[in-house]
């Protein structure tokens, strides 16, 4: 089993180009996880544009073009600006001759002193009372659950037995299974690691991400992360979701926002909420 | 006064390059508004990558590098993919020989049928009871308020008289002054058009945007838009804010998320909220 560091390793081949090996373990239902791909891009950006002044990703935005297969791929990084408080770069993942993901990444320092907080920490039962998500998902395999330990609040697991709450919220404790402690780079993956919160609306259809943005707010302390993934709005065949991540001290360390497609299997349509 | 369409006009010079004229009217305290710049990029992307299948911006993410001056500038667009349900492009604004803003934009159709809504519409008094923000801001000029009519709920205007509520929320009715009705492109600007919601925390310092993402969810109906800009979290010298936009029928039409710097003037520090 390749841990997070092995699975996101980048090898410079010069001129801002990096060889990567996309690891099949980071798949969900036969597709590599979008957050994992963003972390690979983030690592290449840090290799190219990172410095003592700009050690961490602060903001990363990815648009997804093609789903790459596991195996060899290439990341090209172009540094757009290196300023005093931040540097910005564009990174593109190519696989099989096609651009698959492009991201813009701003890197800089992180100062976690909280001045004002409008996002109170999610309330979770103790980790040992939570339910670890298995590799075998509802009708498909989720190899990702063999490398990321996601222990869910039993109160949000109704969807697994056909009794979704209808609130559109999943939450739980998350650790990397390789024992690696969380850092800012791994947060780019973790804002997209929970199952789609649409499961809690009673629909387990595929949710392919169009766009994912991660704002990293602090360097996480060691220990388990508390993560909440929430549906904001479902319209047409698209959903937008918000993901908040707190470290073991209760500090908000990252927020993710994504716009995704929503393929609703027959018989799983949520009740229409009206048109206005 | 140049209306929105004139101020965002793009003229193709071939090979994905567009000449633009950045309009001084869209400034706040001597800087062009970040949402306005994103709309200029979005318009160039639609000119290059838009089609009957892909008529609207769905998701747009901008990272800000340098603040351009008003005047001539150039946008280069590179189409990354043209698929069935979406096309993706990268757009870069250059001014004065420097890259100033780079954005990734996904374009496609919009289907506003609401299935599930976790973002209830903001409650506002009637438009005629609201307070139009003036061009003269607190210590600086906001020419933007001469082209975008922002009528704020009087309940969130305490900051203007030194009595911020501390809730970190601004809300109001918004129209374009040129009489143009809102469309998906203009929403890229409007998710960044309200004053920083940090004003409602008692600090009127400059809030330079690092990253702004807009998810467009529906084609807006004609009439005024209801907009709420909310602070999520202030840590170190950064803030993340969320902006929701509803059309005159009460439908959520766009959401913006941004990470920005926060320059706190002496004597305006919000009370520290503790460290964890």
- The pLDDT tens digits for B200-256 are 999 888 899 999 999 999 999 999 999 999 999 999 999 999 999 999 999 999 999
Chain A: residue nearest B103 by CA?
A104
Please give, rounded to a whole number of angstroms, the shortest distance from the CA of B135 to a CA of chain A.
29
- Give A-chain residues touching B217 at CB under 8 angstroms: 233, 235, 238, 240
Per-residue pLDDT tens over the stretch B255-273:
999 999 998 777 776 554 4
Instruction: Please judge whether B232 and A251 are an interchain contact, meaning their C-beta atoms are less than 8 angstroms apart.
Output: no
Instruction: Name B73's Cβ contacts closer than 8 Å, sequence gap at least 6.
Output: B19, B20, B21, B22, B93, B94, B95, B100
Does an H or E element contain A112, and which? none
Indicate yes or no: CB of A270 within 8 angstroms of CB of B234. no
Q: Give the distance from residue B215's alpha carbon to the nearest chain A alpha carbon, in angstroms.
A: 7
CB < 8 Å to A56, chain B:
none
Say what percent of chain B tops pLDDT 90: 90
| CB proximity list for A121: less than 8 A, separation 6 or greater | A226, A246, A250, A252
Q: Which of A115, A201, A235 sits opposite B235 (nearest CB)?
A: A115
Q: Which residues of A are less than 8 Å from B66 in CB distance? A: 81
Task: Give the per-residue SS3 of chain B.
Answer: CCCHHHHCCEEEEECCEEEEEECHHHEECCEECHHHHHHHHHHHHHHHHCCCCCCEEEEEEEEECCCCCCEEEEEEEEEEEECCCEEEEEEEEEECCEEEEEEEEEEECCCCCEEEECCCCCCCCCHHHCEECCCECCCCECHHHHCEEEEECHHHCHHHHCCCCCCCEEEEEEEECCCCCCCHHHHHHHCCCCCCHHHHHCCCCCCCEEEEEEEECCCCCCCCEEEEEEEEEEECCEEEEEEEEECCCCCEEEEEEEEEECCCCCCCCCCCCCCC
- Cross-chain residue pair B102–A119, CB shorter than 8 Å: no
8 Å CB contact between A107 and A81? no
In Å, how far from its chain's centre is CA A164?
23
> Nearest Cβ partner of B106 from A63, A106, A240?
A63
- How far A146 CA sits from the closest chain B CA (Å)? 30
Question: How far is it, in rounded angstroms, from Cα B262 to Cα B229?
Answer: 16
Q: What is the mean pLDDT of residues B100-116?
A: 95
Least Cα distance to A49 among A108, A9, A100 occurs for A108
Cβ within 8 Å of residue A145, ≥6 positions away: A132, A133, A134, A135, A137
pLDDT value for B38: 98
Query: Between A and B, how many CB-CB pairs are < 8 A?
Result: 209
Residue A189's H or E segment, with its range, is helix A184-190
Residue in A86, A233, A245, A256 to test binding to B, most B beta-carbons within 10 Å? A233
State the nearest Cα–Cα gap between A140 and chain B, in angstroms: 25
Which chain A residues are within 8 Å of B168, Cβ to Cβ? 116, 118
- Give the residue among A177, A264, A186 at the shortest CA–CA distance from A219: A186
Among B114, B118, B275, the residue with its CB nearest the CB of A274 is B114
Q: Which residues pair with A163 in a beta bridge?
A: none
**Cβ neighbours of A249 in B, within 8 Å:** 276
Please report residues of A whose CB lies closer than 8 A to that of B255.
232-233, 240, 257
**CA-CA distances (angstroms) from residue A76 to A15, A20, A62, A235?**
8, 11, 14, 35
CA dihedral (A215, A107, B260, B109) in degrees, to 10, reads -60
- pLDDT tens digit at each of 276 positions of chain A: 669 999 999 999 999 999 999 999 999 999 999 999 999 999 999 999 999 999 999 999 999 999 999 999 999 999 999 999 999 999 999 999 999 999 999 999 999 899 999 999 999 999 999 999 999 977 889 999 999 999 999 999 999 999 999 999 999 999 999 999 999 999 999 999 999 999 999 988 889 999 999 999 999 999 999 999 999 999 999 999 999 999 999 999 999 999 999 987 777 765 544 433
Which residue is closest to A80 within chain B, CA to CA?
Answer: B99
Chain A residues inside the 8 Å CB shell of B274: 114
Across chain B, mean pLDDT equals 94
pLDDT tens readout for residues B52-86: 999 999 999 999 999 999 999 999 999 999 999 99
Pairing relationship of beta strands B209-216 and B17-22 according to DSSP bridges: unpaired
Which residues of chain B does A201 touch, with a Cβ-Cβ cutoff of 8 Å? Answer: 116
* Contact (CB<8Å) B111/A237: yes
Tell me how crowded residue B272 is: count the other CB atoms within 10 A of its CB. Answer: 10
Q: What is the pLDDT of residue B270?
A: 59
- Distance of alpha carbon B227 from alpha carbon A168, whole angstroms: 23
Assess contact for A90 and A74: CB atoms under 8 A.
no
B248, two tokens: 């005159």
Chain A nearest CA to B145, separation (Å): 28
Tokens read off for A159? 């969807």
Q: How far is A269 from chain B (nearest CA, A)?
A: 8
Determine, for residues B65 and A59 on separate chains, whether the beta-carbon distance falls below 8 Å: no
> How close A8 gets to chain B, by Cα (Å)?
23
Provide the 10 A C-beta neighbour count for residue B7.
Answer: 22
CA-CA distance, A37 to A182, in Å (whole number)? 17
**β pairing state of A131-132 and A148-152:** antiparallel
Nearest CA in chain B to A102: B104
Residues of B in contact with A270 (CB under 8 A): 115-116
DSSP state of A33: -
Token pair recorded at residue B88: 């993706």
How many whole angstroms separate alpha carbon A41 and alpha carbon A24?
17
What gap in Å lies between CA A212 and CA A193, rounded to an integer? 12
Task: Please judge whether B102 and A106 are an interchain contact, meaning their C-beta atoms are less than 8 angstroms apart.
Answer: no
For residue A81, what are the β-bridge partners? Answer: A88
The residue of chain A with its CA nearest to that of B215 is A259
Nearest CA in chain B to A94: B80
């Amino acid at each position: 089993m390749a841990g997070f560091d092995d699975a996101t390793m980048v090898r410079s081949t010069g001129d801002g180009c990096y060889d990567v090996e996309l690891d099949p373990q980071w798949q969900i239902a036969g597709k590599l996880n979008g957050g994992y791909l963003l972390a690979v891009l983030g690592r290449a950006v840090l290799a190219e544009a990172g410095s003592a002044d700009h050690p961490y990703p602060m903001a990363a935005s990815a648009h997804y073009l093609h789903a790459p297969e596991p195996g060899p791929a290439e990341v090209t990084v172009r540094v757009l600006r290196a300023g005093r408080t931040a540097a910005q770069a564009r990174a593109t993942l190519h696989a099989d001759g096609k651009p698959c993901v492009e991201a813009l990444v701003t890197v800089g320092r992180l100062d976690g002193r909280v001045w004002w907080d409008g996002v109170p920490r999610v309330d979770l039962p103790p980790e040992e009372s939570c339910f670890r998500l298995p590799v075998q998902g509802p009708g498909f395999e989720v190899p990702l659950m063999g490398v990321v330990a996601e222990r869910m609040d039993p109160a949000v697991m109704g969807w697994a037995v056909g009794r979704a709450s209808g609130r559109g919220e999943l939450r739980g404790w998350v650790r990397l299974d390789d024992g690696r402690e969380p850092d800012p780079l791994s947060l780019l993956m973790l804002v997209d690691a929970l199952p789609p919160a649409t499961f809690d609306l009673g629909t387990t259809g595929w949710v392919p991400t169009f766009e994912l943005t991660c704002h990293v707010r602090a360097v996480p302390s060691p220990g388990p992360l508390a993560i909440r993934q929430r549906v904001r709005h479902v319209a047409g065949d698209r959903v937008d979701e918000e993901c908040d991540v707190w470290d073991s001290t209760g500090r908000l360390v990252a927020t993710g926002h994504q716009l995704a497609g929503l393929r609703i299997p027959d018989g799983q349509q949520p009740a229409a909420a009206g048109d206005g």
